[in-house]
Amino acid sequence: MAAIATSSGRIGFVETGGSDAVPIVFLHGVGSDKSVWRPQLEHFGQSRRAIAFDYPGYGESGLLDGASRDDFAAAILAAMDALGVERAHVCGLSLGGVVAIAMHARAPGRCASLILADTFAMHPDGQGIFERSTEASRTIGMRALAEGRIDVLLGSEATPELRAECVEAMAAIDPAAYRMGAEAVWLADQVERARAIGVPTLVLCGSEDRITPPALSEELVGLIPGASLEPIERAGHLANAEQPAAFNAAVDKFLSAAEQ
């Protein structure tokens, strides 16, 4: 793990692999950081350059006061610039999917494809989730928020080890950064941006996801021209970490077709 200086400040990243294949970039959710992508970095680093980034204020990135989802997108593009990545497959989960859509809106030519996991264009209860989560970050703190949310976050087959990792990752987030991330994800309305996506797109969703349920992924697929939907069985909101083999296989299949 490391950080790199960019035009958006210091951005944390972890990287594996390297080849002539198009790189893949991973974007985390509001309650985690780049470490959530460990199973994907290990897998995809065997065939291509694989990079997971922190948003401003998360992990090893510097805080950028008042950052929006578009600022997060600009920061990731700036980090790609700093690492010499001109074009990449962009895989984002939850907030990461929202940021991936914003990246495509800002610089479509830099997105070889989009992989949007457990996310949405607009959440029907976004305002309520935003208000409840940000209030909790102020009143009870990040650790208590994480401990109270973990049962909703993960599905039935999540291991005790994963549960503990998720709580620790969320507890470590700067509350100010978390509130920026919460606004970026839960108040998003990117319906028109989704309709304008012009690259191959895969939508993934845990079958047990209660935070961004499968119906929202179905709506997203309906908005994006040519998008396909792949359910990840026996997974909750963190499908990539709960069922990494199934998640990786679905992405491998998608990339194989997208790169033909």
The pLDDT value given to residue 260 = 87
Rounded Cα–Cα distance for residues 143 and 167 (Å): 7
Q: Write out pLDDT tens, residues 97-130.
A: 999 999 999 999 999 999 999 999 999 999 999 9
Q: Write out pLDDT tens, residues 127-163.
A: 999 999 999 999 999 999 999 999 999 999 999 999 9
Residue 1 has pLDDT above 80, yes or no: no
Q: Write out pLDDT tens, residues 182-191.
A: 999 999 999 9
- Chain CA centroid to CA 205, Å: 12
Residue written as tokens 């940021």?
99
Q: Are 131 and 219 in contact (CB under 8 A)?
A: no
Q: Architecture of 2-258 per CATH?
A: 3-Layer(aba) Sandwich (3.40)
Rounded Cα–Cα distance for residues 56 and 216 (Å): 27
Which pTM does this prediction carry?
0.97
